[in-house]
Amino acid sequence: MGSYTATYRIPKDRVNVRILLRNQTTHQFELFVPIRQEMRPPGQILRELLEQDKPFFPGRDLDLDDFVLLHRDAVVWAAVDKDLERELDHLDLYDHKLRVRVHLAMDTRLEGSVYYTAPSAKARLVDYLNGTERFVFLHSADRLVLVNKRYIDFVTELPMRSTTRQLPPVPKEEAADPQPDTEETRGED
């Protein structure tokens, strides 16, 4: 019996993802995805899962140790660790890079960079956000976060951080705790 059903099984790969659901609970999931011949970065795999026409996809909730079928519209954001070797090579292909703060409906904010390419007539951030994709890709130094547009209240463009000019150090008594990119904050305004 087992060998008969094994014939029809599709080989699967696993991607570890941290997900915030619309009920405001965060879970660590292991998502099952078909193995492809080419090696693809986890962020690309996650985007394909969330952007597909099929609303449900399989995974295992590592916090509850349960197999689940997750509905993509229940996902507020999903984060994966960056595969630096494969992801960074592709970022040079984009014409536009903007730092943004994304304000979510549940009084949470995420900060990071968005990368996109658009014709000059549609090169504005608003045109990118109004695109057909359901999720916005937010980049930080060490992870990628796909944010569901359905749960975004508004987006603020931030000034780019300069990597070439060093500012003088701030005296200790005036130094504030910096907030890392894609850090979640609640009700700080």
Cα angle 139, 90, 148 (rounded to 5 degrees) comes to 35
Q: Give ranges for CATH 2.30.30.100 in the chain.
A: 84-167+174-184
Decide: 47 and 69 in contact? Cβ < 8 Å: no
DSSP 95: S
From first to last of its 189 residues, the chain has per-residue pLDDT tens of 455 555 556 667 788 999 999 999 999 999 887 776 456 778 888 888 899 999 998 899 999 999 999 999 999 999 998 765 455 556 556 777 899 999 999 889 999 999 888 777 667 899 889 989 999 999 988 889 999 999 999 999 999 764 433 444 444 444 333 333 455 555 554
Q: Which CATH number fits domain 84-167+174-184: 1.20.120.420, 3.20.20.140, 2.30.30.100, 2.60.450.10?
A: 2.30.30.100
Question: Tokens 């690309």 appear where?
Answer: 44
Decide: 99 and 159 in contact? Cβ < 8 Å: yes
Q: Which helix (H) or strand (E) holds 108?
A: strand 108-116
Question: Tokens 């997900």 appear where?
Answer: 19
- Mapping DSSP to helix (H, G, I), strand (E, B) and coil, where does residue 47 land? helix
